Chain A
Amino acid sequence: MRSLTARVGTIVWLLASSVVAQTDGEPPTVDDAASNPPQDAMSLGYDANPNATSSSNEPDMFQLVPDPFLQDEVRRQLKNQKYRFCQDPNYRFFRAEKESLCPHVSAFESTCPMLERACSRPPWEEEMAQNEPEESDWSFPSFNLSWVDILFKALFWGALGLGVFYIVRALVRRAQLWKEERDLDVGASSPLPNPRTDRMPDELRTHVLLKMAREKLDQSEITEALHLTYRATIRALADADWVKPHRSKTSGDYLRSLASNRVASPSNTADQQDKQIEVSTVTGHLLDLDRERFRSGPRAEQARTLLGQAESLARRLSPLVLLLGCFWFIGCSTFVPQEFPYQPYAPRGSQLFEDLLRRQAGSVHRRLHRVVDVPEETSTVIAIDAALRPIEWQTLSRWASSGGHLVVAAPSAAFWEEFGQEFEPTACSGPLTTPPLTIVPVDDTMAFAESTSGQVLARCADRIFASSMQWDAGWVTVIADAQLFQNAGLAARHNATIAFHLVGNLDGHVEYLGPWTGRGSQNPLESITRAGFGWWVLHLLLLGIIHAWSRGKRMTTPIDPRDSSRRAFTEHARALSGKYERARASGWALRHYAEWVYDTLRRRAPSTRADLKSLTRAVSTSEIEANKLREALTTARRADELGETTKEHYATFRRLKSAILGISEVSRKSRIEKD
């Protein structure tokens, strides 16, 4: 459709051009071109005579008339608020842009209504100088702060890494929770499924729920409508971050959390009072909803009222959401940063040309990759300010010689090396003309010296601004600079008509090259490296390898063993000891252990007397050991009376244990010796 419109526009424009030409008594132009071989010239859409010299070409130059459809399209496109230099009266130009654009402000009357006001403002550099605070006598002491820089970087990356870790952990936990909830749902809800309260998809938003409620109400399913209204209300509150919904929460739970979160502290400030009013409104609404949802025989009229209240509440809360979202997530601010001139929608950007090109041409491909080949279906290659390598120009040269049309604006030295022209464009201050139209310059104009071949399409004073030359079976159009294809260039008076006249016929596929060409990555690794993530990926890879190496064959097995229904003995023991510790019963446990030790020793030395001293002497090899054992046993047997801490109990336990083990070892050795 877009292509068709462009074609119809072109036909009308060509007819108009023909009429103008005949009226002026000038030689026929496009129509003549169409009937005049070579066919390639005809296909380009402009009259050309490659064999003619530049001086002899001038009388034959195409008599161009403004293309009303294209100009309308330019005006339409520039109404987009993104073209701030055209639409924003407070736009600030850089000095260079101001000096080149503002002298021609009248040329932008129809396309950029606000440009004049923007031109009345001082350039950005001056405003900045005015706003700068005056220098004080005090000067900031200079330190070598490189380590601070490193520290900040480390902190930043550390925080980022930690954040990523927490996000991943939260996601994993969320997934686990979801799984557990699902399992519980299956288990808990299976005895009595409740069709009315079955969970609906979480993604249902407030307005959808309200709409569904309205439908249910119209179908006289009042209870269902009320449930949906309730869901919508809670969803609206959740969206405003007032409550955190959960399927197990009742209205009471929500109201309690509202009361604690929204009106945390009693205050007489207006804001706090507003919050109280809001909370009381919500409270009343939720209570009314509960009343109607669960009472027998709910009334339709009441349900309608509640639905209306819910809609009103949702409306009231939604701007709040937008505002909060604005401040919290995207950082809305009234401050508009200064626009860099070469940004896509800025005066020197090329967004407008690309948009127009897409409307005019059959298909357009913005080429990011290097020019190693040209697609077969391509009819035109447009290279504007493209910094291609010689080999890429060679590719384009071969392609052009086989019948294509290559349009080059602001060609680089590599281009001339390939195409054999040994002169460079230089600055030109004369008027730019494409008779009978004049190009409005929006930048310093460049121009070539007279060429020996090719047809002149536009002049700058007595030099050439744009020319076209035959290249074997194809054509090459060279334009000295790229200003005509910039947003500001296209916006000025009839420049768009001239620019597209220079580009020629755009039927078929167009490859669009620019400064970005060749900057695309050839493979994912290159893409990662260019994005500056190469080291990170390597780092992760290294960690992965270390992890795989440390885990060995278990790499793919789950870390945690499956839960078994029976607990291991150690778990019981641990739980038991934990229980003793919580109950502060470690003294009690130690006392029992000491009693057991005492009984064991008594069995080992049955012939001794009942007192502890005799017993410890009988089982020990020395008096020192006997004393140690006696002390440990005495302490342990009175552990729950002495009021010692768990740590001290544990120390006593270890002393007793080592004493017992020592005795066992001695008795074992003595048995061996006896044997």
Chain B
Amino acid sequence: MELQEFSEKYERTVGEVSRVVLGQKAIIEHALIALIAGGHLLLEGVPGLGKTLLVRSLGAVLGASFGRIQFTPDLMPSDVTGGNVFNAKSSTFEFIPGPIFSQLVLADEINRAPAKTQSALLEAMQERAVTVDGTTRALPAPFLVLATQNPIESQGTYPLPEAQLDRFLLKVNVTYPSAEVEQQLLAAYVGGFDPQHLQVEQVLTAAELIDMQMTLRRVTVSPEILAYITRLVAATRDHRSIDVGASPRASVGLLQTARAHAASLARDFLIPDDVKSFAHAVLRHRVVLHPDAELEGITQDDVVSSILAETSVPGGVS
């Protein structure tokens, strides 16, 4: 796929989803970038911001198979992965695939399930495969997990373990829309807008998405940019407010998202802006704050911002 075509398809996809999910263009772009970069997306935000709607719309626009898992405290791993069920007729065990065997999986309120169930996603997210009763089954490609979680409730929730968090390429904080956007939303509702019944046009096929993912390889990266990414990630390991820094998976993630961003602008090379614009989304969930910093009210975003402000960009001017 040519980069120009890549860019056009990207824009069309964003535009189509924006018809349904109003005023959240940045979030839509992040989701699409995660999809193109082959990673998973964690959306965090209070209820009612359109997280689930976004994922559903994205699935519809892509024409991909869509599975939804509502995470609850009593959810079992087999409810996610599926399991072998005895077939009385054939007197054999048959594998009944779980909702994870979809191209687009919505893990709604992922932090409501206990760690055991959350861990069922680990292999799927990293290996794109599921092992049940010793048999490993590949998941369809492309495969993307879009998880949502609510940051305000602490009762009956299980924070995601670091290993799980690290498997999400991006963590996007869904914030309240501005007053103007909210007014537009209301006006749209008055005009008959109903996102639940809105038909979005499929503008991308799964094959095209895979083609787009392959196109990323054509985006070249200069050694300075590679060094910049490495410096950024390395800085999280030495930062005074961070207990555990980001992993090399974060470096790869940052590189891939930056490449996807460059390609979305029909560019076949990276510039520092590509890296910087995704640093927060890639790093914020991969750093564990020092207790002192946490007590002082410092957030992961503050730390990433300070790292960005302290790290020289390639060819930067002092």
Contacts and interface: CB of A to CB of B under 8 A. Distances in A.
A252 B313 CA distance: 12
A659 B315 CA distance: 67
Given A296-B222, A578-B297, A247 B314 contact: no
Nearest to B273: A252
B313 A249 contact: yes
B314 A197 contact: yes
Interface string B273-317: 100110000000000000010011100000000001111111111
A291 interface: yes
Interface string B219-247: 01010110110110011001000000000
Contacts of A246: 309, 316-318
Interface of B: 220, 222, 224-225, 227-228, 230-231, 234-235, 238, 267-273, 276-277, 292, 295-297, 308-318
Contact of B270 (A187, A227, A294, A567): A294
Given A188-B231, A247-B312, A294-B224, A230 B271 contact: no
B295 A572 contact: yes
Interface in A239-253: 245-253
Contacts of B268: 295
Given A234-B317, A235-B317, A194 B227 contact: yes
Given A197-B312, A293-B315, 14 more contacts: A184-B310, A197-B313, A197-B315, A231-B315, A238-B317, A246-B316, A247-B312, A249-B317, A250-B272, A251-B272, A253-B276, A572-B292, A575-B292, A578-B295
B234 A199 contact: no
A155 interface: no
Contacts of A234: 317
Contacts of A192: 227, 230-231, 234
Among B234, B292, B296, B312, chain A packs the most CB atoms within 10 A around the CB of B312
A613 B215 CA distance: 77
A261 B168 CA distance: 37
* Cβ-closest 8 pairs across A and B: A575-B295, A252-B273, A247-B316, A234-B317, A247-B318, A247-B312, A295-B269, A245-B317
Among A238, A251, A567, A582, chain B packs the most CB atoms within 10 A around the CB of A251
Contacts of A185: 312
Contacts of A567: 292
A582 B273 CA distance: 34
A578 B296 contact: yes
A625 interface: no
A290 interface: yes
B271 A294 contact: yes
A245 B318 contact: yes
A181 B310 contact: yes
Secondary structure of the A side of the interface? helix
A202 interface: yes
Nearest to A231: B317
A614 interface: no
Contacts of B309: 246, 248
Nearest to A184: B310
A576 B220 CA distance: 48
Nearest to B232: A188
Contacts of B225: 294
Nearest to A248: B309
A250 B271 contact: yes
A189 interface: yes
Interface in A203-257: 227, 230-231, 234-235, 238, 245-253
A547 to B, nearest CB: 32
A316 B238 CA distance: 44
Interface in A574-632: 575-576, 578-579, 582
A184 B312 CA distance: 11
A296 B226 CA distance: 13
A296 B269 contact: yes
B317 A248 contact: no
Interface in A282-330: 290-291, 293-296
A579 B295 contact: yes
Nearest to B295: A575
Nearest to B235: A188
A674 interface: no
B292 A248 contact: no
A240 to B, nearest CB: 14
Contact of A188 (B234, B271, B276, B317): B234
Interface in A427-449: none
A91 B273 CA distance: 59
A248 B313 contact: yes
Contact of A252 (B224, B277, B295, B318): B277
B295 A248 contact: no
Contacts of B224: 194, 196-197, 294
A191 interface: yes
Contacts of A572: 292, 295
A14 B292 CA distance: 92
Given A295-B220, A579-B295, A189 B271 contact: no
B230 A191 contact: yes
Contacts of A199: 312, 318
Nearest to B220: A296
A66 B104 CA distance: 105
B7 to A, nearest CB: 15
Contacts of B270: 294
Interface string A101-141: 00000000000000000000000000000000000000000
Among A231, A250, A567, A576, chain B packs the most CB atoms within 10 A around the CB of A250
B295 A194 contact: no
Contacts of B310: 181, 184, 188, 248
Contacts of B314: 194, 196-197, 294
B269 A248 contact: no
Contacts of B234: 188, 191-192
Among A187, A238, A572, chain B packs the most CB atoms within 10 A around the CB of A187
Contacts of A187: 238
Contacts of B228: 194
A291 to B, nearest CB: 7
Contacts of A248: 308-313, 316
Given A230-B315, A245-B318, A251 B235 contact: no
Contacts of A578: 295-297
Contacts of A576: 295
A440 to B, nearest CB: 62
Contact of A250 (B238, B267, B276): B276
Contact of A294 (B235, B269, B276, B311): B269
A249 B316 contact: yes
Given A194-B224, A245-B318, A250 B269 contact: no
Contacts of A582: 297
A189 B227 CA distance: 10
A252 B276 contact: yes
Contacts of B271: 250-251, 290-291, 293-294
B220 A197 contact: no
23 contacts: A187-B238, A191-B230, A191-B231, A192-B227, A194-B231, A194-B314, A196-B314, A197-B312, A197-B313, A199-B318, A231-B317, A234-B317, A246-B318, A247-B312, A247-B313, A248-B311, A248-B313, A249-B313, A250-B316, A251-B271, A252-B273, A290-B271, A296-B220
Contacts of B238: 187-188
B273 A251 contact: yes
Contacts of A188: 231, 234-235, 238, 310-311
Nearest to B314: A197
Contacts of B235: 188
Nearest to A181: B310
Given A187-B238, A202-B318, A572-B295, A250 B222 contact: no
Contacts of A250: 271-273, 276, 313, 316
Contacts of A184: 310
Contacts of A194: 224, 227-228, 231, 312, 314
B306 to A, nearest CB: 10
Given A194-B227, A194-B314, A248-B309, A291 B222 contact: no
